[in-house]
Amino acid sequence: MARKLIVANWKMNPDTPREARELCAATKRTAAKVGRGGAQVVVCPPAIFLADLATNPGRLAFGAQDVAALPVATGAFTGSLSATMLRHVGAEYVIAGHSERRAMGDTDEVVNKKIKIALRQNLKVILCVGETTRDHHGHYLATLKNQLLHSLAKIDKKSFSKIIIAYEPVWAIGVNAKESDTPADFLHNAIFIKKVVASIAGATAAKNLSILYGGSVTEKNAASFLTEGGADGLLVGRASLDPVKFKQIINLAS
């Protein structure tokens, strides 16, 4: 069985380099303990901490939380970080299309550009998709389909081996979320995602696709998403900032 992928999305946390080092060190110890046979842990810190933390990765892999939608490595783009820069400081993964970036203006077209640029730099992409509200008639599936079709437009089939999908229902993310999704609904939605990917890139790409669950993952619900829900891994926000909780999640996934 493939290793589960446990991704820590630190978002805009913590506020000092020292805290970032401490949090990373704790996660690194856990990853070292579970070893090669355990879950693959990917830490996505704020880009400003990435270079420092990734110099001594241990068994961790690192990812960036975002990348500029610019097809160049350098240039006059104040405030932007290129895929090349991120790769050179140790990122192996990049998150694209997180709902919090979408809320700040990233459209599917922008996400599509970011994915293509990241792939060109040999970064693995964690593409986030998810509906804002869930209805009982399944209309939300059209939202998922749209996000997938447009975000993955004109990407060659071979590149799909470097793409991971994180299904993150927006209503289940963050401090204001009342609940997480259920493992059964995740499983249903993951199958739907595979069907859409099969229509874009073929059955093999869909079969080999890893799909993560994200949205209020805790040490209490992690196991059920991985077993009952059949998730290939988890994208963890808040709980990844708590070394004790995150350790439990990594252990459960190992």
Largest CA distance in the chain: 49
Over the chain, what HEC string results? Answer: CCCCEEEEECCCCCCCHHHHHHHHHHHHHHHHHHCCCCCEEEEECCHHHHHHHHCCCCCCEEEECCCCCCCCCCCCCCCCCCHHHHHHCCCCEEEECCHHHHCCCCCHHHHHHHHHHHHHCCCEEEEEECCCCCCCCCCHHHHHHHHHHHHCCCCCHHHHHHEEEEECCHHHCCCCCCCCCCHHHHHHHHHHHHHHHHHHHCHHHHHHCEEEEECCCCCCCHHHHHCCCCCCEEEECHHHHCHHHHHHHHHHCC
Pick 172 or 206: Cβ nearer ligand PGA: 172
CB of 56 to ligand PGA, least distance (A): 25
CB of 81 to ligand PGA, least distance (A): 19
Pick 63 or 237: Cβ nearer ligand PGA: 237
Catalytic residue, chosen from 100, 131, 168, 219, is 168
Pick 164 or 236: Cβ nearer ligand PGA: 236
Q: Phi, psi (5° rounding) for residue 5?
A: -105, 115
Does residue 168 carry a catalytic annotation? Answer: yes
Catalytic residue, chosen from 22, 88, 92, 98, is 98
CB of 196 to ligand PGA, least distance (A): 21
Does residue 98 carry a catalytic annotation? Answer: yes
CB of 198 to ligand PGA, least distance (A): 25
Pick 174 or 230: Cβ nearer ligand PGA: 174
Q: Which residues bind ligand PGA (CB under 6 A)?
A: 9, 168, 173-174, 177, 214-217, 235-238
Pick 82 or 189: Cβ nearer ligand PGA: 189
Pick 43 or 205: Cβ nearer ligand PGA: 43
**Which pairing describes strands 124-129 and 163-167: parallel, antiparallel, or unpaired?**
parallel
Residue nearest ligand PGA, Cβ-based: 237
Please name the residues in contact with 80: beta carbons below 8 A apart, sequence gap of 6 or more.
68, 70
CB of 134 to ligand PGA, least distance (A): 15
CB of 217 to ligand PGA, least distance (A): 5
Residues assigned a catalytic role: 98, 168
